[in-house]
Amino acid sequence: MGEVNLSQVMDRNRSFVDRIIEESGQDIRQCYQCAKCTGGCPGAVHMDYPPNQIIRMLMLGMKEEVLKSKTIWVCMGCNTCTTRCIRDIEVAGVMDILRQKAIKAGYIEHAKGVISFNDSFLWTVRSFGRLFEPGMAIINNVRLGNFMKDMQFGLPLMLKGKASMLPHRLKGRREMANIFKKTVQGGK
């Protein structure tokens, strides 16, 4: 993490912390640093900062470090932390906001795979109304430049009759397109 001058950082990033509190509806200042969230976190072993540290860093206003962290992309949203927090903080909800903020701020060094997957997933939902896995896989692999990715699963799924061959088309396609247009500007 290197050295940080806390009082300077805190002043500079006060508004960031306030926004996180407002948008997540979670008053992270209530945190006791008991680390129960971290104790039960299945992803903690692969994170650069465990969840309780992320909360502490937010309180200290360490915006860049948090948004650039690997942690927020390792978090799989299992909600164990939220369930167990003794101060009733929705830690997983804070992680959600941090991911959205990191994408908006362009801090995606640890997130390329996730973003490409999400975009491909949502592309099929916007186009067909439902997930169409073969379409999603192809787009995702093109984006990542890895054409054989997940082929270990594609063939067995097909052999078991578990792959959809044709996309289903919704009657409410216009409504769906409108939802995407008004939320993520035409989707991605």
Residues at the interface with another protein (CB under 8 A): 42-43, 45-46, 73-74, 76-80, 82-83, 90, 92, 96, 99-100, 103, 113-114, 117-118, 121-122, 125, 129-131, 133, 140, 150, 152-153, 156-157, 160-164, 168, 170-172, 175-176, 178-180, 182-184, 188
Query: Is residue 33 at the binding interface for ligand SF4, with CB under 6 A as the rule?
Result: yes
Residues in the chain: 188
Structure tokens that stand for 90 in this block: 């929705």
Helices (H), 40-163: 51-59, 63-67, 71-74, 80-84, 91-105, 112-128, 133-144, 151-159
Q: Give CA separation, 152 vs 2, 143, 149, 159, in Å.
A: 41, 19, 8, 12
Would you say 52 and 31 are in contact if contact means Cβ atoms under 8 Å apart?
yes
Q: Give CA separation, 6 vs 57, 59, 119, 134, in Å.
A: 10, 10, 37, 49
Taking the C-alpha atoms of residue 43 and residue 135, their distance in angstroms, rounded to an integer, is 30
x/- site string to ligand SF4, residues 84 to 103, per CB under 6 A? -xxx-x-xx--x--------
Nearest distance from C-beta of residue 22 to ligand SF4, angstroms: 18
x/- site string to ligand SF4, residues 58 to 87, per CB under 6 A? -----------------xxxxxxx---xxx
35 binds, among another protein, ligand SF4, none (CB under 5 to 8 A by kind): ligand SF4
Residue with tokens 């992320």: 54
CB-nearer residue toward ligand SF4: 36 or 126: 36
CB-nearer residue toward ligand SF4: 29 or 162: 29
Nearest distance from C-beta of residue 28 to another protein, angstroms: 16
Interface ranges with ligand SF4 (CB under 6 A): 31-37, 40-43, 51-52, 55, 75-81, 85-87, 89, 91-92, 95
